[in-house]
Structure 1
Amino acid sequence: MTVDFKALYPKLVHLLLDTVFVVDEFGKIVFVSDSCEQLLGYATNEMTDTEILNYIHPDDLDRTLAAASSVMSGRSHTDFENRYLHKDGRVVHILWSARWSEQGRLRIAVARDVTALRQSDKTRSALYRISEAAHSAETLRDLCDGVREVIGELFEESDLHLAFFDAEGGVLSVPDWTAGGSSGWIEKPVESGTAIGDVISAGQALLAAGDAVRQGVEGRDLAQPEGPGWLGVPLISRGTVLGALVIESSASGTRYREADQALLQFVATQLATVVERKRAEERLRFMAHHDALTGLTNRSLFYDRLEMALRSAGRNESRLALLYLDLNDFKKINDTRGHETGDQMLIEMARRLEDCTRETDTVARMGGDEFTVLLTDVHGRASIETAVAKIRELMSLPMNLEGKAFHVSCSIGTALYPEDGVTARELLSKADANMYLSKRRTH
């Protein structure tokens, strides 16, 4: 039997899984095989007689034109890759094999969809970089910055939000990535009826696109016409919801799909393990340098900061002050009212000391009911007296502990650098001695 290859050839072309394009010298599509619908979402009759450039991702337009010019000059391409826009708006990565037919002055090309392959490459790279960030980041906040960069490459036209959940306080801690926010956190309550609230409470992923009561992490209204796409997945480790990973787009018509959800959830699963480990490391680091009861700087870290402050004051010819404090009659209260009341009193004293000092100052618990305060960049004894008066005023307020009001006072000793000493030992000794002088005067 004789086979009519001329008649069979078009049928074979339309059976190919890869898409065949024939484009004239002016960039118009004169033929495209049926698989174009699977590739870009358009039927053959929709693409025929249209400009091929209409479908190219804007960011790849210049280099695609350069490649087309190269093909038209007689150089065949077998591995050119660029991005096209699918009919539904998503990005498709295409690997081309193309040559020029001088006889018809046509570019003949075969297009293969390599989107899944490129996404796989990106995912593998993202997980590797998240692992790198976990090892190099000193804090959880540093890790968030690294993850933001990685997710930004996976979802190029989306904003990333990372939110960590405090179940006890019912609040979310979100990295401050606003202008100038390079190290801080923003805390906000978890509100029911919001998209982020649903992700946290249910511990399940959520695709949101038009529910009037749902809002994104930054309060965007998802019900506005052509509103932003919103996708949130929980960060879960050992059955506990640690927070949520959210991507959000304000681009018109953007809608995330199940494939995006699966990818983000995969990344979130890996990230949750890293976050749990980083939190544990931070807890251990905090416990090593802070008092377990009050959360204040402990004796060891205080000495380090005092030595550092002394070196800085010596270089800059500035002054610093050291205050040594203890609660009057604390042992009596502790013995008669119980250790629980005593502990609560120490915690309250710690909070009050923090409230009446600056962020640049250091408040530490040295042990028992003894505390120290390091004041940097002071201007003489007058400024110390002002600080001491402020502390005494705050400490004179009643402490409401276990339904009972307690009135307490404290003894305070001071030392000024360099007048009262130039070493940590000299300043601590001077402040301690002055504290006991103060205590004797009050008894």
Structure 2
Amino acid sequence: MKTNSYAPPSNVMDLLLDAVCVVDARGYFVFVSAACERIFGYTPEEMIGRPMIDFVFHGDRTRTLQAADEVVDGQPLLHFENRYVRKDGQVVHVMWSARWSEADQVRVAVARDITERKRADSLQAALYAISDAAHSAEDLGAMFQHIHQIIGELLPAVNFFVALYDKTKDELTFPYHVDEYGQAPAPQKLDSAAMSAEVIRTGQALLVTPDAGEGLPGTCRPDVGRNSSNWLGVPLHAKKGVIGALVVQSYRAGMRYTKKDIELLQFVAAQIAPAIERKQMEVWLQHIAHHDPLTDLPNRELFHDRLQAALLLAERNQTRLALLYLDLDKFKQVNDTLGHPVGDLLLQEAARRLRQCVRESDTVGRVGGDEFLVLLNGIPLREHALSIAEKIRLALDRPFDLAGRPVHISPSIGVALYPEHSDDFKQLIRYADEAMYDAKKNGGNRSQISARPSMLKKQKYQNTA
């Protein structure tokens, strides 16, 4: 049976789904088939006469030029992959096969768009990487840094931040923030005009493009001071609701995020939201194990640890510290007459005033009932400890407005010093406690220094014996 021959039409290359490109010895396009417009976004007229390397993604240019030199040297190229930048700014992944025509002095190459395949591969790799980051990171900061690196492999993310929302405090914070032109915003309320707050309030992705602020609600503003050319934020959905947002932004005019980038970032957010919630739960459990649940002050165990550490540091640096033991006079009367809810409010407000009276380097702890301990580090003279005790007395002596009811109490304060009274934390607490009861027996609303003999005097007598 005779087989009829077939003469392909002159436009057969334009019927191919893969693109055919011809590049001369200088590296300029001299021919591209019609499929190039589908893959790269440029018409053949826009590509011909321009250097091939101008279209290549910046990070792939060095190895692309190296591969081109190998082709010119006579080595056929199969399955070479690199990235190109489309006319609309999107990055496209391309797999090439190419060879050199010595007779025509050109490189002939066929390009296949493998962007979807690479995206699927990247998502699969991201899933494993995110899972590993969530389980191996020591804290949220380390996890966010790892997540930033992962997202950077999927889409442009030089500028990336995480916004987290604490519903109990109605506070939006930015625990991870990397931006070319701005510092992390200060904590703010959820009703602020920040765009990340809008994402969290609505629970919807927000894409803002340079096209006259397309997608930006009228009352919203950027989270940092400088407007970005492109802004994309997606919510972090967890079991207890929206806990925050992931945001990427770009200041490059030619780079735009797309609906596919929204889907990709939403995929990442869906994977890490449970991990964030789990890490937050771990932090919270560690916190409540060492803090009083009512006042959020260090509890007895944590306070003892800090006191012992402070004693070691004071001994090493030959400095003085003071320990104050406080009891609220007439607290039982408040509980009995106004009820425990008002008593709880009183303890919370007293704790707040105590914190305001001391430095960040000091520690205020609640050790039970209406009793508090205050550790004052680096006190030069005993008079300074007594001065702070008086400051506390005056602060707690002011009336409290509790649920619309004026309440008046006063403190009894005992003071013990290192090294004068003891170098043992248990003895210091006991001596300060004894001094507090002496203050209470003398009418309360006063401070009393421990009556125990000074260890410094004992040491002096021992040294002169």
Relative to the length of structure 1, the TM-score reads 0.90
Q: Deviations over 1:118-152 (max 9, x none)?
A: 33333333333332332234444443333333333
Tell me which residue corresponds to 1:401: 402
> Pairwise mapping of residues 262-273 of structure 1 onto structure 2 (< 5 A)?
262-273=263-274
Q: Does 1:75 align with 2:75?
A: yes
Q: What code does the residue aligned with 2:275 have?
A: V
Tell me which residue corresponds to 1:3: 5
Structure 1 residues 357, 150: closer, same or farther in 2, change over 3 A?
farther
Tell me which residue corresponds to 1:166: 166
Aligned residues: 432
Q: Does 1:90 align with 2:90?
A: yes
| 8 Å CA contact 2:83, 2:94 repeated in 1 | yes
What is the SS of the residue equivalent to 1:359?
coil
Tell me which residue corresponds to 1:51: 51
| 8 Å CA contact 2:86, 2:92 repeated in 1 | yes
Matches of 1:383 and 1:127 in 2, distance apart? 58
| 8 Å CA contact 1:175, 1:186 repeated in 2 | no
Question: Shift of the alpha carbon at 1:389?
Answer: 2.0
The more displaced of 194-203 and 326-335 is: 194-203
Tell me which residue corresponds to 1:216: 222
Q: Deviations over 1:266-306 (max 9, x none)?
A: 11111211122122222211111111111111111111222
Matches of 1:364 and 1:220 in 2, distance apart? 43
What is the SS of the residue equivalent to 2:17?
coil
Question: Shift of the alpha carbon at 1:169?
Answer: 4.4
Q: What code does the residue aligned with 1:145 have?
A: Q
The more displaced of 151-160 and 233-242 is: 151-160
Tell me which residue corresponds to 2:126: 126
Q: Deviations over 1:252-275 (max 9, x none)?
A: 143211100000111111121112
Matches of 2:46 and 2:178 in 1, distance apart? 44
Tell me which residue corresponds to 1:114: 114
Matches of 1:391 and 1:34 in 2, distance apart? 82
Question: Shift of the alpha carbon at 1:374?
Answer: 1.4
Matches of 1:124 and 1:389 in 2, distance apart? 63
> Pairwise mapping of residues 355-366 of structure 1 onto structure 2 (< 5 A)?
355-366=356-367
Question: Shift of the alpha carbon at 1:205?
Answer: 1.2
| 8 Å CA contact 1:195, 1:208 repeated in 2 | no
What is the SS of the residue equivalent to 1:175?
strand
Structure 1 residues 38, 243: closer, same or farther in 2, change over 3 A?
same
Q: Deviations over 1:131-188 (max 9, x none)?
A: 2332234444443333333333433344212112234544311126479xxxx98311
Q: Percent identity?
A: 45
Q: Deviations over 1:398-425 (max 9, x none)?
A: 1111212222111111222222111111
> Pairwise mapping of residues 19-38 of structure 1 onto structure 2 (< 5 A)?
19-38=19-38
> Pairwise mapping of residues 21-420 of structure 1 onto structure 2 (< 5 A)?
21-175=21-175, 177=177, 186-191=186-191, 195-209=195-209, 210=213, 211=216, 213-218=219-224, 220-221=226-227, 228-238=229-239, 240-420=241-421
What is the SS of the residue equivalent to 2:377?
strand
Matches of 1:167 and 1:244 in 2, distance apart? 14
Structure 1 residues 30, 174: closer, same or farther in 2, change over 3 A?
same
| 8 Å CA contact 1:176, 1:186 repeated in 2 | no
Structure 1 residues 321, 192: closer, same or farther in 2, change over 3 A?
closer
Q: What code does the residue aligned with 1:196 have?
A: S
Matches of 2:279 and 2:5 in 1, distance apart? 69
Structure 1 residues 279, 127: closer, same or farther in 2, change over 3 A?
same
Matches of 1:74 and 1:85 in 2, distance apart? 28
| 8 Å CA contact 2:92, 2:113 repeated in 1 | yes
Q: What code does the residue aligned with 1:243 have?
A: G
Structure 1 residues 31, 207: closer, same or farther in 2, change over 3 A?
same
| 8 Å CA contact 1:319, 1:380 repeated in 2 | yes
Matches of 2:388 and 2:142 in 1, distance apart? 35
| 8 Å CA contact 1:165, 1:173 repeated in 2 | yes
Matches of 2:375 and 2:154 in 1, distance apart? 47
Tell me which residue corresponds to 1:224: none
Question: Shift of the alpha carbon at 1:95?
Answer: 2.1
Matches of 2:26 and 2:433 in 1, distance apart? 89
Q: What code does the residue aligned with 2:309 have?
A: M
Matches of 1:320 and 1:178 in 2, distance apart? 41
Structure 1 residues 132, 316: closer, same or farther in 2, change over 3 A?
farther
The more displaced of 16-25 and 294-303 is: 16-25
What is the SS of the residue equivalent to 1:366?
strand
Structure 1 residues 363, 239: closer, same or farther in 2, change over 3 A?
closer
Question: Shift of the alpha carbon at 1:82?
Answer: 2.0
Matches of 1:195 and 1:104 in 2, distance apart? 56
Q: What code does the residue aligned with 2:393 have?
A: R
Matches of 1:404 and 1:191 in 2, distance apart? 31
Matches of 1:229 and 1:166 in 2, distance apart? 27
Relative to the length of structure 2, the TM-score reads 0.86
What is the SS of the residue equivalent to 2:378?
strand
Q: What code does the residue aligned with 2:204 have?
A: Q
